[in-house]
Structure 1
């Protein structure tokens, strides 16, 4: 888990310093914000792996910011741990309903905080499934890294393989270029959106001789969808 990027949103300098030191010693990278405005600027620059969010912040509260993050498509799946002095059950329920993944009650030990962060990161990033995928007579096996179309093995590049694996795992849903970049290339990949089109064309070319290129569908003005329906 070392190297994960944590965004710490906390208005008290002493707590920010203590938490940053503890997480740094645990091998975690920390970016600091003292309020929601600064946090939003850091989020726009780079999406972290997890947000450590104080409940009581000046201006916009942490719980309101958590609700906002869960409403936005770009940050909806971002794990959030709330730092709070509020230990009442109603407060905890309210936070969980807002989409918070976990609570750490102040005062807390740095060791406990690191353990909670690692647990949430494990839940948020499960290991990729190795189960074979199949649509019609198109088969993809992640463990052996093979794709078969009507029994014939297809040769494709690693990016096309990941793209097809993602599509076959999420059929019938439209994804924008930005979403595909995020989910297939990775959050921090510096790749232009038009690169997606290039790899879509390559994937269709490989699937074309067997008629499966029709499954990789362009949805005008929205993005791409993988569907067995014509």
Structure 2
């Protein structure tokens, strides 16, 4: 057999599989790219990827149903991940608690509707029940973690581009921790305030120097920050939950 014959016998089936499964690869690739940029919240990234991977490689049978349900799951993933990729958040972006508690239930319903009539529902039902239980467990763990005040980036870090940003030491104890950063550069105080305002932080309407925002759609929590002008070219920001 010639080399060309060997190549044809190897490549042709591979090309056929790629043509048949292009939609699976496209949906998975798009989700993984979004998750990679949101990896600073690994729990959210992993939980958002699992439904798309499970549907595309484990549950979907027909191209038509697979593409429609996969597109719905991709849109759901984009709602969760894209704002994080862009540094945005607020009451229209699902919080980590929303993701852990509601995403497994919502995706289970979507997938079970999609596979009805395509295959036995016993195994998928068991799998998604396990996914929901894992979400509840991790949601509870995350709630304890947040109650201890272990503050994440929360839209403050790494600060606006063009400024030199250095993170300070964390302050606090068992009641909670705050994080701090110093930013230097041209018009640093003004640019930092504009940066935080664009990410949903606003004044509380009283004499408090804090600016706050609420994260999450259903299960919400508040993040607050204080911006302190050190000089016209230096600003210090402290934030906590």
TM-score (norm 2): 0.27
TM-score (norm 1): 0.28
Answer 1 or 2: which has greater helix percent.
2
Larger relative contact order (CA 8 Å, sep ≥ 6)? 2
